[in-house]
Chains A and B, each alone.
Chain A
């Protein structure tokens, strides 16, 4: 079974440009999460989808970030316009339906975003 995949693996853009990151969760996983790690710091939660609905977006840094999950499958995270402080590694994770037992979050390889 394929794991969580993310595209691209690395993106280098200039300040002010737009970048869109994509995450494909494990097939059948209703929960999809985005996290970010700024260099040297902790991995921070950005938001959580349950199917196509945003369950928790408390970690989104500002309105330059837009996450979507149309159809409840893959998700995109758009940064527009990008700023220098947006540089970091963006991780996506997915887990199954929260049916009472623990649902492990499986992580993708991450997208390394560099804003120059």
Chain B
């Protein structure tokens, strides 16, 4: 069965620290990969996505993620976090055969930034 693993349940950082959130997935075929974010009191929203092409994708608010096919990984990075990045982050995949199919989510990583 397809699954997504996020390595950290809760990450606490100080402002300006660098961030890397780990994500691994299990699916043998072509996949579309995503990071979603849910800020406190807000909707789940798409942070960035990978479909094909350059494995280093850039998203909103200075976030980027790198797809490493051989490692089945899609880690999220940001060189310098801000207090406003406090949120819950979800790694997710869907099978590449249809972009309209279900999304499989990881369990989420709560990020807390100390001002």
Q: Give chain A's interface residues, CB within 8 Å of chain B.
A: 3-4, 31, 33, 35, 40-45, 48, 50, 56, 58-59, 91, 93, 95, 98, 101-105, 107-110
Contact = CB atoms under 8 A, between A and B. Distances in A.
Contacts, number: 56
B46 A104 contact: yes
Nearest to A30: B100
Given A102-B32, A107-B44, A48 B101 contact: yes
Given A44-B105, A91-B44, A109-B43, 20 more contacts: A3-B43, A35-B103, A42-B4, A42-B90, A42-B107, A43-B44, A43-B105, A45-B102, A48-B102, A50-B100, A56-B102, A93-B103, A95-B100, A98-B98, A98-B100, A105-B103, A107-B36, A107-B44, A108-B43, A109-B42
Contacts of B32: 102
A42 B105 contact: yes
Given A3-B43, A107-B43, A102 B102 contact: no
Interface in B65-115: 90, 98-108
Summarize A's interface: helix, strand, loop or mixed.
Answer: loop
Interface in B35-58: 36, 42-46, 49, 51
